[in-house]
Amino acid sequence: MQLPPRILAVGAHADDIEIGCSATLSKALAAGSEVFCCTFSAHDPLEFPNDDIEGEWRNSMKTIGATHSRLFKLKACKHREFEEQRHFILTELEKIRNEFNPQMVFTHSSFDTNQDHKQVHEEVVRVFKRHCTILGWEFPSNDIVFESRFFSVIEPHHLEVKYNALQCYVSQKRAFEERTKRVGYTTRGYLDMEYLSSWANIRGYQIGEKMAECFEVVRVISKN
């Protein structure tokens, strides 16, 4: 299955798309695809009251090279806004479907246990289930199990884009550093190139390639 000319990536929070599929998006953009990135929440204002996460998200989108991008301002998990605003999420996704007409959508997987991620996944499936292929990215800290069915082979320079996009989130780096001080060992996780490389190398090894990103196949629709 090749990456099509129009790809939509839908994330619940700023940095979700970057973690889940930004190397593959970089690969698609280099091949000439249009990429639309849609994020429904910049941050939790109680957890990050003084940070410009909207600005970090915009810088990250520029780093990836997204053709189109849209950021909404729902509040994150503890406020339960995603569940309460599921009709808003559905309506906005319908607008994007009608204006952009994607042939493939990347989003959170059905295995993700985060409540905001789960709500976004469900609305994406409702809106696009008859329209186009839907793939769910893995999120190791949230996935108790995962079905690795679709592999996107990537190159080191695609991973470099992923790393650079994540480095735009200065607020997250600060939060990881503060957590590291509290627990006494590094918890930087996905902000480290060593972590990202290991993750990509393991997925590449599974298919006899150097590096890959891996996805759940939610639905495949071929119109050609």
For residue 184, the model assigns a pLDDT of 72
Q: Counting beta carbons within 10 angstroms of the beta carbon of residue 4, is it exposed (0 to 12), middle (13 to 18) or buried (19 or more)?
A: middle
For residue 148, the model assigns a pLDDT of 95
Is 11 a residue whose pLDDT tops 70? yes
Hey, where are the domains in the chain?
Answer: 6-218
Q: Where residue 33 falls among pLDDT bands split at 50, 70, 90?
A: very high
- Distance between CA 210 and CA 155 in Å, rounded? 8
Is 45 a residue whose pLDDT tops 60? no
Is 46 a residue whose pLDDT tops 60? no
Residues 74-122 have pLDDT tens digits of 876 666 789 889 999 999 999 999 999 999 999 999 999 999 999 999 9
In the DSSP assignment, the letter for residue 67 is S
**CATH architecture entry for 6-218:** 3-Layer(aba) Sandwich (3.40)
Backbone dihedral angles phi then psi of residue 59, each to the nearest 5 degrees: -65, -40
For residue 178, the model assigns a pLDDT of 76
